[in-house]
Amino acid sequence: MKTWVCDSGQKLEIFIPFLGKYRPLTGRCCQTCTPRSWDGFYHAQLSSLGFCSAAQVTEEDTRYRGWLVRRLCCFLAVWDWKVPADTPRDLPERVYRSRRVRDVAAGQARGSEGDSESRRRWKEKALEILAGIQAPLSLPVLRLCSWVLLRLLSRLFLSVQLHRGQLEMVLRAATTPDVPLVFLSTHKSRLDGLLLSFLFFSHGLGVPRVTVGSLNCSPRLRALLRRLGGVFLPVGMEQTSSGQDGGLPGAVLASYVEEVLRSRQPLLIFLEEPCAPRRLSAAAHEWLAPVYRAVRDGAVPDVLLVPVGIAYDLAPDCLEGSGAHGARPLSLSACLWAACRALRRRLGCARVDFAQPFSLQEFVAKTLSRQSSAGKPPEELLLPTILGTHQPHSERAEPEGLAPGTAPGSEAEDKMMVTKLGLHALSDGTACSAVTAVGITSALLLHKHRQGVLLSRLMSDFAWLLEETLVRQRDVGFSGQLRALVRHSLALLRAHVALYHLAPPGDVLVVPEVSVEARWELSQHSAALLPVFAGEAVGACAIRALLLEMLPFVGAAACPSSITLSQDELLHKTLALLQLLPPSLLGLQPCQPLEHQSQDVLDKLILCGLLEADESENERWLCDLAPRPFGKWQPWAEVDFTDSDSDSEDVCKRCFKLRDPEGSPGLLLFLCRLLSPVLETYARAAAFLEQPSWPQPEAACAGALQQFLAEKDGLERPTWSLALSTLRTFKEMGVLEEAPSPAGPLLHLARPFRSSEGRGKLRAFIQQFVQP
């Protein structure tokens, strides 16, 4: 940021050059898992194409010109949009004649006469399941709803930003012969499906088949969504685990997905639920499994996967809590009423980002080649550290890894591959998502200025955090003058922020509300910054844990900059925290080994200026090539140039000193607080283990944990994804174990944690990383 003074004396604050038209493309594919896809469909010049707003349609978007056209351009543009590919007319017959459906029908009809009447009944049942999954597109209804949605988006948002370079990259991928596109998207709002379908339809990508997750719709709304391209899981499929065939419904679903891929229709799969961010949903498992099997079985030669990231200043949440998780079905009238209520206020800006497409076949081949190098299970890595038996290993098991002796091509391997694919795509979608102005302001108010801050200071910190975000190769979803950006975000947060005009200094005091609801809202907005600073935040919490251990020895009055930290101890704490938290929760790539991630965390702490190498004078002389007065002492005289392999000499351990980076005061505290909401949930989940109701089913345990967190936080809707992540982590660590029962598996405490001493050690282990 630079300040220029014009001739009139007015100061102009300008961001250069990264907030202009030319921005680097984010979302490059993983070089470890898909190295051949790294250069595919990507060109450096794509970053110079700039942005467009999908909600603004002008006369130039139509084939006509004139006064009347300028007033009817929205309707004319929608009517001209083309549908490159549609469902084949003989789709029902193809699905019924597929090998999967015929094999399942023959197996279930075994023992009957096998006459024509039996075949007719099975065909009717298969076609009934297919009708519940999808319906043919209705182009008149599609164009009418697209026109209504265009008007709605222009009223809801200031702009719906789309990078032309990313769009060009996806359009190039769509021209690959015989290779369909599958979009794997994050999920921030119930409006995401309609928004992405509108964007694809309006920019020449066709009408996608959009998967509808756990949304419970009324029959009329369900029929309308199917006509617009929505596809639903068969009834009962969500209760089956990923990797099972699911009987006839599973066979019909798999055959339908194969036909969609063969016809080159784009398929849009949401990887998460709005109420459970950064956690792979059960519906995503069910949709990803047939896509993977279609490539594995040769139904299509390959599939190009495109991660999608969505960001809102304020996410449309009018439908939140309706039609999900067993609530009353969401009706068409409720959707219309929610749209009318949403029109009463602007929601800021929306941004859609496409990551670089990568090959599913290449991803599977690379993953199978690394399968033999899986680490030890988490209970052998983290449990000894918690109980204080020995040092942790620098390994971690791959998510959903195979049990020893599992045969290739089995259901366990399919489930493992689908899980890895979903988590990797979710990480890519999170990485390419833009950071909003509301997210930056919320993070500053919640984690740095809880007691209030002057507007001038808030603007300075906004510019600092913006630059730190851009340095880490993350894009932002805004541009403009600094004062306008901060005022825009404060206007959207006005329900949770109080502004006081101070007359003598002529400044404004910004004070966040102290209510639990306000803190929860600010935490939800600021969570978008956690994947950006995840490595630094983990390292900062590890530094805090080390300082807490050293406090009894150095005293409370000791200056942190005078304390020396050992590299081995810092890596020890970093590994322990990385073993505790799932990579998807932090936005880290799940394919990277923990030892590499921990070293990367240490490097980031050095780069951001929190750590400085502590070297002795001799070491500085030895490595320094600057001109020095030549004296009698020669620094190379003590260096041993012989080929001796003796290990008797002590190896000098590397140490660091803690420092406050110049221009970034309070960075350590800010990074610790950025990760605190996640760690506090884990700490309260450890306190939940004190409840005497063990054993219990996992579903009942998750519900009880969510209720426990709601009572502690005073919230009606605590973060569901964190509650599920803590249970999963405790199961992987060995804190909770499963026991078979006639009613299903039951969760109970492992033997070391049945005593209050073991549970106390678990709480102390987590609490050492938490910054209040």
Residue 55 has pLDDT above 60, yes or no: yes
Render pLDDT for 321-379 as a digit per residue (tens, 0 to 9).
444 444 577 888 888 888 888 777 788 899 999 999 999 999 999 988 876 555 566 66
Q: What number of other Cβ atoms are within 10 A of residue 392's Cβ?
A: 19
- Torsion from C-alpha of 448, 671, 686, 600, nearest 10 degrees: 170
CA distance 301 to 134: 24
Burial class of residue 547, CB neighbours in 10 A (0-12, 13-18, 19+): middle
Mean pLDDT of 4-8: 42
Looking up tokens 């947060």 gives: 493
Q: What number of other Cβ atoms are within 10 A of residue 86's Cβ?
A: 14
CA distance 126 to 98: 11
Residue 395 has pLDDT above 80, yes or no: no
Give the pLDDT score at 746. 86
Sequence-distant (≥ 6) Cβ neighbours of residue 10 within 8 angstroms: none
Helix (H, G, I), strand (E, B) or coil at 520: helix
Instruction: With beta carbons less than 8 A apart as the criterion, state whether 292 and 299 touch.
Output: no
Mean pLDDT of 72-80: 75
Least Cα distance to 192 among 310, 333, 55 occurs for 310
Give the pLDDT score at 418. 93
What would the two tokens of residue 665 be?
């005061």
| Confidence band, pLDDT 50/70/90 cuts, at residue 245 | low
Give the pLDDT score at 328. 72
Looking up tokens 């803590």 gives: 726
Render pLDDT for 595-639 as a digit per residue (tens, 0 to 9).
889 999 999 999 888 888 876 555 554 455 555 554 545 554 555
CA distance 603 to 595: 13
| Phi, psi at 212, each rounded to 5° | -105, 120
Query: Could you give the angle at the alpha carbon of 49 between the alpha carbons of 428 and 31, nearest 5°?
Result: 30
Percent helix, strand and coil across the chain, each rounded to 5? 50, 10, 40
Least Cα distance to 402 among 386, 418, 390, 384 occurs for 418
Task: State how far the alpha carbon of 163 is from the alpha carbons of 168, 398, 475, 496, 630, in Å.
Answer: 9, 34, 11, 32, 59
| Confidence band, pLDDT 50/70/90 cuts, at residue 561 | low
Instruction: With beta carbons less than 8 A apart as the criterion, state whether 235 and 219 touch.
Output: no
| Confidence band, pLDDT 50/70/90 cuts, at residue 110 | low
Which of 77-86, 105-114, 641-650 shows the lowest per-residue confidence on average (mean pLDDT)?
A: 641-650
Render pLDDT for 278-328 as a digit per residue (tens, 0 to 9).
888 889 999 999 999 999 999 999 999 999 999 999 988 744 544 444 457
Residue 276 has pLDDT above 50, yes or no: yes
Share of the chain above pLDDT 70, in %: 80
What average pLDDT is seen over the chain? 80
Q: Between 245 and 537, whose confidence is greater?
A: 537
| Phi, psi at 722, each rounded to 5° | -65, -35
Give the pLDDT score at 86. 73
Instruction: With beta carbons less than 8 A apart as the criterion, state whether 376 and 397 touch.
Output: yes
Sequence-distant (≥ 6) Cβ neighbours of residue 39 within 8 angstroms: none
How many residues are given for the chain?
772
What would the two tokens of residue 479 be?
């541009």
Mean pLDDT of 741-766: 86
CA distance 582 to 429: 16
Residue 160 has pLDDT above 60, yes or no: yes
Give the pLDDT score at 400. 42
What would the two tokens of residue 331 be?
């009706």
Give the pLDDT score at 589. 85
Which of 159-163, 567-571, 619-623 shows the lowest per-residue confidence on average (mean pLDDT)?
A: 619-623
CA distance 481 to 493: 19
Task: State how far the alpha carbon of 583 is from the alpha carbons of 31, 396, 553, 664, in Å.
Answer: 18, 11, 34, 27
Q: Looking at residue 561, what DSSP letter applies? A: G
Q: Characterize the bridge pairing of strands 51-53 and 159-163.
A: antiparallel
Mean pLDDT of 636-654: 52
Give the pLDDT score at 666. 83
| Phi, psi at 208, each rounded to 5° | -80, 155
Mean pLDDT of 469-489: 88
Render pLDDT for 423-447 as a digit per residue (tens, 0 to 9).
999 999 999 999 999 999 999 999 9
Share of the chain above pLDDT 90, in %: 28
CA distance 173 to 206: 13
Least Cα distance to 424 among 726, 6, 32 occurs for 32
Looking up tokens 């102390």 gives: 764
Give the pLDDT score at 616. 59
Give the pLDDT score at 609. 86
Instruction: With beta carbons less than 8 A apart as the criterion, state whether 78 and 141 touch.
Output: no
Give the pLDDT score at 701. 86
Residue 540 has pLDDT above 90, yes or no: yes
| Phi, psi at 239, each rounded to 5° | -85, -15
Q: What is the CA radius of gyration of the chain?
A: 28
Give the pLDDT score at 394. 43
Residue 238 has pLDDT above 70, yes or no: no
Give the pLDDT score at 648. 43
CA distance 448 to 2: 24
| Confidence band, pLDDT 50/70/90 cuts, at residue 246 | low
Please give the single-letter amino acid code of residue 176: T
Render pLDDT for 691-714 as a digit per residue (tens, 0 to 9).
777 888 888 888 888 888 877 665
- What pTM value is reported for the model? 0.87
- Report how far apart the first and last C-alpha atoms of the chain are (Å, whole number): 32
Residue 530 has pLDDT above 80, yes or no: yes
- Torsion from C-alpha of 45, 47, 50, 55, nearest 10 degrees: 120
Mean pLDDT of 184-206: 90
Residue 409 has pLDDT above 90, yes or no: no
| Confidence band, pLDDT 50/70/90 cuts, at residue 554 | low
What would the two tokens of residue 262 be?
């063969």
Residue 112 has pLDDT above 60, yes or no: no
Helix (H) or strand (E) holding 500: strand 497-502
